[in-house]
Structure 1
Amino acid sequence: MTTAERLTRKDWLDTGLQLLGSEGEKALTIERLCQVTCRTKGSFYHHFKNHGEFINALLEYWQSEYTNRIITTVEQLDNLSDRRRELDRLAAGIDRHIERAIRNWSGVNRRVQLVLKQVDEQRIQYLVGLISEMGQIDEKIALELAIVEYSTFVGLQQLFPNADSHWLEQIFNRFNQMASAYCVALHRKELE
């Protein structure tokens, strides 16, 4: 981007997420954002009333891009197995540095903690729906499997922040195969 190009609100938010992922929440100052974008504070204030509004917008943007957009994309597919594969692919491609930074930030910021809790619950509930559809199983068991699956997703982000997205996708796919086999076995047992 050249200095002659006008930054959009989205450009500021993208820059914020990248800074968060690479330098942590302390880098989310107006000064640092302006330095990275080669823009003045006036340009920042053209889009955001103050720093607090920027942080709120950043958290909403992260939720929108990293959760809502993914769910919407996956839901456009008709076939359950296609939806699962697409979810695995998109989840594996999430910027793990940003996700880790959000989790770290939530430890020191109540607003971030509340947004992260909402996102975690939204993601888990989406998995509950997919798992329920996959195995025609009790919602309690679907919730337990969703929690294990989501914990695997979060754990892999923490343990392997630089992992290849293809490798992560394979791990997610392997979990789905195990969960599917479990659901089939459970369903057979109920029929006996």
Structure 2
Amino acid sequence: MNDSTARFSKTASGKVSKDKWLEVGLAVLSEIGANGLTIERLCAMTERSKGSFYFHFNSIEVYKIDLLSYWEGKATVETENGVVAHDDPIDQRLAMPRLAAALSNRVEVAIRAWSHHDAKAKAEIRKVDARRIAFVAGVIAQTDGVPLEIARRLATIEYAAFLGFQHLLDDASQSERQNMYESTLFLISPHLRRPGE
């Protein structure tokens, strides 16, 4: 039994929930890439039959669509929620590097690679990119007091740096990635100060 199989334990009734199947998919993306998303591999990792897979998903294509949506929820919606959990806009802005650094670098890179040869993954990436830029722009507009159009340009630069660091810092620790993301934030918004400064 590998580490991935151990992570995705079954419920007391022996069933694997839909979310667990999707978590396994994120692990496959992280470890192997999109080419590893096969029913056989997913069943082996969950120690369940194909019938169990088909209980939740009509086909591997349906699974992949659900997986992309699940990734958006985990990596974008939950991150946004973590930001807006702070009442103060400056605290929201300062939370972004920490939350961004907590994302799985390997999953993010794997999904972007997948999008180069899969139209549905490409559409999802474009949607997520637009959503993330718009969200960051909204926070920048509040904290920096700039018009939304300028905030959008700044957010695009900041997000482009985030994407580049995913490749350049692929072996970096979460702390190292957070430091680099914070450096970018303070270049974009130099008037802000780190907590305690």
> CA shift at 1:72, angstroms?
1.4
Return closer, same or farther for 1:9/1:94 CA change in 2, 3 Å cut-off: same
- Structure whose residues are more often helix by fraction: 1
Amino acid at match of 1:134: T
SS of corresponding position for 1:181: coil
Q: Which residue, out of 81, 87, 106, partners 2:115?
A: 106
Counterpart Cα distance in 2 of 1:44 and 1:137: 50
Superposition misfits of 4+ residues, deviation over 6 angstroms = none
> CA shift at 1:2, angstroms?
5.7
Q: Give the number of aligned pairs.
A: 183
Amino acid at match of 2:135: Y
Structure 2 residue 19 is the aligned partner of structure 1 residue 6: no
Matching residue of 2:42: 33
> CA shift at 1:36, angstroms?
1.3
Return closer, same or farther for 1:2/1:113 CA change in 2, 3 Å cut-off: closer
Counterpart Cα distance in 2 of 1:17 and 1:43: 18
Structure 2 stretches of 5 or more lacking a match? 1-8, 193-197
2:30–2:106 contact (8 Å) kept in structure 1: yes
2:93–2:143 contact (8 Å) kept in structure 1: no
Listed as ranges, the matches of 1:1-192 within 5 Å are 1=9, 5-181=14-190
Counterpart Cα distance in 1 of 2:33 and 2:187: 36
Counterpart Cα distance in 2 of 1:135 and 1:86: 15
Structure 1 stretches of 5 or more lacking a match? 184-192
Counterpart Cα distance in 2 of 1:64 and 1:53: 17
Amino acid at match of 1:118: K
